Amino acid sequence: MKFIQALILALFCGQWCAAGNIVNYTQKSTVNLRPYFSVAEDDKEGTLNADLLFRNPELFRALNDFSPAKPDNVFWLFTEIKSDTDAAAVLSFRHLANATLYVLPDTPGASYEQRYAGAFCPDSMISSGDSRFHFRLTFARGIKYRILIRSLHTKKYDPVFDFKLSDRDLFYKASGRKERLDYWFQGAGMLLLVYVLVNWLSTRYRPYLWMGIFIAGLQLYNLALNRYLIDWFFPNHPVVGWRFTVHFLYMAIIGLYLLIIDFWNIKSKHPNLYRLGKVILCGMPLLALLFFFINYYTSNFKLTSQINSVLFMVQLYYLLRLLSLWKSFDKQERFLAYGVILYLAVALFVSVSVFIVGERVLGLVTVFSGVLQTTVCLLFLVGINGKLWQNEADKLHYLSQLNELQREQNQLLEANVAARTKELHQGKLQIELLIDELNHRVKNNLQLLYSLNSLQVSAHKDQYVTNILKDNVARIKAMMLVNESLDPGKNNSSELFAPGVVINKIAAHLKQIFAGEVPVRINIDIEESIILNAASGLSLGLIITELMTNSLKHAFAGQPEPEISISLYRSLNNWELHYRDNGKGMLTQSKDSFGLNLISDLTRQLRGSYKIDPVNGVHYVFIFPNVS
């Protein structure tokens, strides 16, 4: 039944043909098998099989006269090989998605050997010693071998039957040379990528980053196109790996566009082209997604290549428009333009070749891509490094000009400051003279009041009036002592001084004015770290004056050992004043007492508070915030 179906298929296809000529293989040679092949076309349902075709070689027709009905049909290739010596050979090809090899030696009772290869063939199906694109063969001297190859090319390209029979040593030497070339390009690309990324990390200059994306995309594209990426990461799912090839290419193109737009400053040179570039950049991920679905659901790699070639015309138009800005480019920017021109030349050649030649041109793309990557990247680096160095030179030049301008400004500022300082110094001298004059008059006025009140004390016989005058004399003396504690040229409320000396002088003066029959012992303990301004010191001096005046006038009648203790010290964020005497204490407190009212008013001015303990004499405790 299968034989009848095969005959019908052969009649449908046209002329029958016997198998091609026998290949007389000699060692250390390479033979192109295409002239020796005969072919039979089968549909995807698999009408033909190896057993049928081995028995019926008349089902084949000459390959040179053959035109396929559909590019993704199954094609059977047949030839015979005979070697005069024992030979180790390799049967290689470059483009088929799936290839199954059947080898039948022409000896009695022999059976055929079956092996698998191809771009889409899982690694688990490939025999040891074979690869995706070659089979190892061993020929015995004088024996004829019938070779049958089943080819299924699902990429929708016209199948390319570029099978070659090579001496194994010659094949491995040629493969080694190709792999060394691939490794050289990949190594050069990796060095460029590392160099670019290190420069970007150290300088943060964006063009280095865009160039890194461009190089990384080309690196991955070359690895995928040369099947290294598939062998390393997708050995048993090669179709998945092949689908990513175009996406890596678009990654490189996106990096190229970002580099061009940024480095040439298209945004300011030509806003319309900048907006068009943004549209193209946004469209590339969408196209890559579209290509993924096309390849995933249809495996029509030919369609994606053709669409990509058509879309390249859009890129060609845009890049030529950008190159039309040539006159606005500086020397460094033109190095980038040279690289773009080289990229356009190679990409245009590949795009046109895909339409004319088909999949065969993809074998050259890997070489073109490696050369393009190395050459273009070197041109780009010359431009980017030159721009960066030029920017540094301009920066140093502008910095030098800025330093010169700053020096001139500093000289001008120093002259202005000197003039202003002289004016301020003259004004300060005048102010100091006025302050000295004012201080001198205040001092004279206080001295005059003190003298007048002192004369009045001795002139009056009335004890009540005398006490009032003594109180006034004491208060005036306190003010004089505070005033004298300040620098005569700097008598203002912000001047600071230590209150210990002033309080001792006030105590000595009051002791002299109100001297009684029994001398009063005065103990003063002032913390040296306490510093007061003039206003606070004056209030404190008057408070102590009032307290001592009251004690000296009223507290010590009948006291054989009168004593007054004054202490001033810090407590947390406050300072405390303790005043004690061992007199008879305060039996009653008159609200109309001028002295007590004055003490209360002065305490409020210092934002403080006080309390009185009348037991065993009198004990005042004042707490003031730190107002120094």
How does pLDDT run across 204-214, given as a tens digit for each residue? 889 899 989 99
Handedness of CA 612, 615, 617, 619 (dihedral sign): negative
Instruction: Decide: helix, strand or coil at residue 525.
Output: strand
**Distance (Å, whole) CA 530 – CA 571:** 11
**Distance (Å, whole) CA 121 – CA 135:** 13
Instruction: Decide: helix, strand or coil at residue 620.
Output: strand
Q: What's the pLDDT band for 493 if we cut at 50, 70, 90?
A: very low
pLDDT of residue 359 exceeding 70, the answer is no
Q: What's the pLDDT band for 494 if we cut at 50, 70, 90?
A: very low
Q: What's the pLDDT band for 9 if we cut at 50, 70, 90?
A: very low
Whole-number average pLDDT of the chain: 81
Write out pLDDT tens, residues 541-559: 888 888 888 888 788 877 8
pLDDT given for residue 150 in this prediction: 92
Domains observed in the chain: 2-162 (2.60.40), 179-401 (1.20.1070.10), 460-625 (3.30.565.10)
Higher pLDDT, 22 or 437: 22
In sequence order, what are the residues at sequence separation of 6 or more whose Cβ sits closer than 8 angstroms to the Cβ of residue 485? Answer: 497, 501, 502, 537
Q: Are 501 and 485 in contact (CB under 8 A)?
A: yes
CA 201 to chain centre: 9
Q: What's the pLDDT band for 216 if we cut at 50, 70, 90?
A: very high
Write out pLDDT tens, residues 65-80: 788 888 878 999 999 9
**Distance (Å, whole) CA 234 – CA 245:** 13
Instruction: Decide: helix, strand or coil at residue 574.
Output: strand
Q: Are 262 and 206 in contact (CB under 8 A)?
A: yes
CA dihedral 281, 286, 290, 295 (to 10 degrees): 60
Q: Are 301 and 155 in contact (CB under 8 A)?
A: yes
CA 535 to chain centre: 59
pLDDT given for residue 465 in this prediction: 65
What would the mean pLDDT of 514-525 be, rounded to a whole number? 80
pLDDT given for residue 439 in this prediction: 65
Q: What's the pLDDT band for 444 if we cut at 50, 70, 90?
A: low
Rounded to the nearest 5°, which phi and psi values hold at 318?
-65, -45
What would the mean pLDDT of 596-620 be, rounded to a whole number? 85
Q: What is the 3-state secondary structure (H, E, C) of 146-178?
A: EEEEEEECCCCCCCCCCCEEEEHHHHHHHHHHH
pLDDT given for residue 2 in this prediction: 38
Rounded to the nearest 5°, which phi and psi values hold at 78?
-135, 140
What would the mean pLDDT of 105-110 be, rounded to a whole number? 89
Nearest Cα residue to 31 out of 139, 118, 158, 131? 139
What would the mean pLDDT of 369-391 be, rounded to a whole number? 80
pLDDT of residue 394 exceeding 60, the answer is yes
Instruction: Decide: helix, strand or coil at residue 494.
Output: coil
Q: What's the pLDDT band for 365 if we cut at 50, 70, 90?
A: low
Summary count for the chain: helices (H), strands (E): 16, 18
Rounded to the nearest 5°, which phi and psi values hold at 204?
60, 30
Q: Are 140 and 89 in contact (CB under 8 A)?
A: no
Eight-class DSSP state of 101: E
Higher pLDDT, 189 or 430: 189
pLDDT given for residue 509 in this prediction: 80
Alpha helices in 299-361 (DSSP H): 301-323, 331-356
What would the mean pLDDT of 562-574 be, rounded to a whole number? 87
pLDDT of residue 15 exceeding 50, the answer is no
What would the mean pLDDT of 33-58 be, rounded to a whole number? 87
Q: What's the pLDDT band for 6 if we cut at 50, 70, 90?
A: very low
Helices 245-263 and 301-323 pack at an angle, to 10 degrees, of 10
Beta-strand relationship, 521-526 and 113-117: unpaired
Higher pLDDT, 372 or 178: 178
Rounded to the nearest 5°, which phi and psi values hold at 226?
-90, 10
> Which of these ranges, 252-256, 316-320, 516-520, has the smallest mean pLDDT?
516-520
What would the mean pLDDT of 162-186 be, rounded to a whole number? 88
Write out pLDDT tens, residues 318-331: 999 999 999 998 88
